[in-house]
Structure 1
């Protein structure tokens, strides 16, 4: 009993001594706490908790052709599927970290033979040893063994459990990364789809203007025959017609490239993209409810991803810090061992072992110090990344809200400009027909009218892009 108490005392004393040496003089590191504060509202807007981010993408986008494209992309997009495999890898990392704080148990079996020299201590003992009275030790000595063994590191400082928690945080972070990719993928397809509709309408405008300019060109040729205009006027009208015709092919090329981009996003080879044939100018953007800036912390996947990365980095610091402290390991084994297979199952062949060890770094801890400082630096880095992500999310929303308002005003003014220039085209044609305006006025008016129609389509596309981007900026689409 006294011997047992003595061993206990020695173990406690050794543990206390190790803690004294290892717990003191930890490296100094930078301490920083993340800032989670955001403004109370966007651009001095009235506060409202309603947010379009809570709408599913099928509820937000009403165009059936667009919905079909998005649904196909969520199944077939290669980059998204690559991310899903990365999520599986981080999930497997959890299993690996969990296994480290559980006992390792294994089975072992072996066989061999051993012949030692006669004039050695072991050889001399074997030569004078009888297994049974009158039965000498066999030579060479065979060796058969079967048994089980176990090792277990007692996680007294939660080092292994914290490593597992960090792996869980990184797994959840990868899931949020996938959600953020879904949000961006939906927005990219929607923007490309509306760009395609805009190009269709621009092509229709060009074709219509080609017909108008063809008629004007025929008229100017007749007037030249009647000596009302010179050859210069004919050539200027012809040049304008050729320029407008060349726009056809430039727009058709853009249509081909946009269709290819959409096909790539949905994971298929180039083919025509089915789309709405309705007037692009008549599209009305959805009503936007931005909610509160604080809701970005819950709705934006990239913000949640940065937060989970920060949690993992904090746990990594704890894991690195625990390496300064002693580690306690237990090992055990049990089995049978004999020089003859027939003896394996006899009680005399039983062997077992049980041992514990306490180890701690005392001298030359530079590697552990470097790992601890690196873990803390990564934590500070994760804090800055988290704050930057929140700031970027707020700015994106504020910009898109301003864009929605400004593009609406710009579109209304462009629509008035198009109406005025359409009337001026008719007026200039009538004045030219009665020789009250020269051909340059007609050409300039037609050119301005065409450019204004293009600008009107561009303004509408910017409106629709703002509608898509505010949905993405608020964190909609992944749920």
Structure 2
């Protein structure tokens, strides 16, 4: 009965892969503002915009181009595409007969002086007739593997572009934080001098001077740490570009372009744009063809061989000139009993196909999550930056007010110190939030398949 079921499924053997109707894409984008609503579909997809229109800094563009040309992972992905293409060509040629030439010659001595020379010049051809789709499904399967290698190359390209951009903006963030912290260190250094002069004049205490010095050394230490991070990020970016660690030429954070509006596109476009989603679908297609090959194994295989050529040998005699010879043979092999291996292979293939379909659906859900996260991060950082600016304005006023109160002996220098520390923290946070907003743009661009081509 189980074998009969397998035989009755022969109609599937020749059918090409179609995307399953059960794959869901509706509502996979979550609105960045509403808690429950899904994001309205937008016919414009940010992923279709060239990366040069997203990242407009000439220095960043130069780094990305260098990375695309030299990155080791990128070069390896290109070579894997070439490998898969060669295997696909071989799979397509498997439909053709193989041809071999095997010439033979011999010399036979008879008595003391006579001898006979015999030769055979045969050409042998062998052809596996694809009656039940074995070769067809193998060829289609190899094509899915080839497409996977192409999509893998696109994935590496997209990840490399976003990785270089993220690292570049992190470097710009650290540069700006170094500038702010350096300015603060200079201010605190002057504060220490002022406090020491005031102590000599009896206007403040030793405790206040010591406290000021401690804060100065704390901020100086953080400056050293920031410079260390700059060097490490430069080294990381250098490795991405496949070159020895070195200084990276770069622009300024405040000069960077940020799109005013982000477009996620229609959810269905994720199926066509995201390389990792396409890889998952090609894995499903490959599993589908593997199942077809397992079905085809139940059917007979037909092989035709033919040999043609010239020979002067005929049995025990040698005749010259030689004669033309031809031989043809057809063989049919029908599996009857293989210890349950064929049915087991079919069951395994079907299970793997179901797993591949679940993985495909999960890849779509993960893609939707990444799009939603990027949209929400962009929305949140925009709002955070508004609050950051307001906070900085208020803290700048607080510093001025406490200085005025101190001059009128209505405040202590420690209150000025506290206000300055709060201002430094707010300024560094604003820089960090600004870069987070840029990274939200990068994340969304990558999430919708940007930079793949």
Q: So what's the TM-score if we normalise by structure 1?
A: 0.85
Q: CA deviation at 1:330?
A: 0.5
In 2: Cα distance, 1:35 partner to 1:412 partner: 44
Going from structure 1 to structure 2, the CA distance change for 1:45 and 1:344 (only over 3 Å counts) comes to farther
From 60, 64, 67, the equivalent of 1:66 is: 60
In 2: Cα distance, 1:451 partner to 1:443 partner: 12
Residue 181 (structure 1) aligns with: 156
Residue 100 (structure 1) aligns with: 94
In 1: Cα distance, 2:21 partner to 2:149 partner: 21
After alignment, is 445-454 or 198-207 more displaced?
445-454
SS of residue matched to 1:279: helix
Residue 372 (structure 1) aligns with: 346
From 195, 198, 210, the equivalent of 1:220 is: 195
SS of residue matched to 2:337: coil
Check whether the contact 2:25–2:268 (CA below 8 A) recurs between aligned residues: yes
SS of residue matched to 1:346: strand
Q: CA deviation at 1:415?
A: 1.2
Residue 213 (structure 2) aligns with: 238
Going from structure 1 to structure 2, the CA distance change for 1:138 and 1:316 (only over 3 Å counts) comes to farther
From 90, 105, 110, the equivalent of 2:84 is: 90
Q: So what's the TM-score if we normalise by structure 2?
A: 0.89
Matches within 5 A, 1:267-282: 267-277=242-252, 279=254
SS of residue matched to 2:23: coil
In 2: Cα distance, 1:354 partner to 1:138 partner: 39
Residue 332 (structure 1) aligns with: 306
Check whether the contact 2:199–2:205 (CA below 8 A) recurs between aligned residues: yes
Q: Is 1:408 aligned to residue 382 of structure 2?
A: yes
Q: CA deviation at 1:45?
A: 3.0
Provide the aligned C-alpha RMSD in A.
Answer: 2.8
Q: Is 1:431 aligned to residue 405 of structure 2?
A: yes
After alignment, is 135-144 or 195-204 more displaced?
135-144
Q: CA deviation at 1:414?
A: 1.0
After alignment, is 282-291 or 424-433 more displaced?
282-291
In 2: Cα distance, 1:321 partner to 1:440 partner: 82
Higher alpha-carbon Rg:
1
From 433, 438, 444, the equivalent of 1:464 is: 438
Residue 442 (structure 1) aligns with: 416
Q: CA deviation at 1:193?
A: 0.9
Residue 449 (structure 2) aligns with: 475
Check whether the contact 1:141–1:339 (CA below 8 A) recurs between aligned residues: no
SS of residue matched to 1:354: strand
Matches within 5 A, 1:285-364: 285-338=259-312, 346-347=321-322, 349-364=323-338
In 2: Cα distance, 1:214 partner to 1:176 partner: 56
In 2: Cα distance, 1:112 partner to 1:274 partner: 75
Q: CA deviation at 1:352?
A: 2.4
Going from structure 1 to structure 2, the CA distance change for 1:369 and 1:136 (only over 3 Å counts) comes to farther
Check whether the contact 1:163–1:319 (CA below 8 A) recurs between aligned residues: yes
SS of residue matched to 1:471: helix
In 1: Cα distance, 2:108 partner to 2:135 partner: 42
Check whether the contact 1:330–1:355 (CA below 8 A) recurs between aligned residues: yes
Residue 26 (structure 1) aligns with: 6
Query: 4+ runs of 1 displaced by more than 6 Å?
Result: 135-142
Matches within 5 A, 1:118-197: 143-197=118-172
Going from structure 1 to structure 2, the CA distance change for 1:199 and 1:345 (only over 3 Å counts) comes to farther
Q: CA deviation at 1:285?
A: 4.2
Going from structure 1 to structure 2, the CA distance change for 1:139 and 1:154 (only over 3 Å counts) comes to farther
Residue by residue over 1:18-66, the C-alpha shift from the partner in whole angstroms, topping out at 9 and shown as x without a partner, is: xxx996253999x995632222464233332112111110112111111
SS of residue matched to 1:259: helix
Check whether the contact 1:202–1:454 (CA below 8 A) recurs between aligned residues: yes
Check whether the contact 2:54–2:259 (CA below 8 A) recurs between aligned residues: no
Check whether the contact 2:176–2:253 (CA below 8 A) recurs between aligned residues: no
Going from structure 1 to structure 2, the CA distance change for 1:334 and 1:344 (only over 3 Å counts) comes to farther
Check whether the contact 1:22–1:324 (CA below 8 A) recurs between aligned residues: no
Going from structure 1 to structure 2, the CA distance change for 1:335 and 1:300 (only over 3 Å counts) comes to same
Going from structure 1 to structure 2, the CA distance change for 1:403 and 1:345 (only over 3 Å counts) comes to farther
Residue by residue over 1:89-137, the C-alpha shift from the partner in whole angstroms, topping out at 9 and shown as x without a partner, is: 111111221232210111011234689xxxxxxxxxxxxxxxxxxx999
Q: CA deviation at 1:201?
A: 0.4
SS of residue matched to 2:410: coil
Going from structure 1 to structure 2, the CA distance change for 1:140 and 1:366 (only over 3 Å counts) comes to farther
Give the unaligned 5+ runs of structure 1.
1-20, 116-134
SS of residue matched to 2:103: strand
In 2: Cα distance, 1:305 partner to 1:175 partner: 9
After alignment, is 191-200 or 436-445 more displaced?
436-445
SS of residue matched to 2:332: strand
Check whether the contact 2:116–2:318 (CA below 8 A) recurs between aligned residues: no
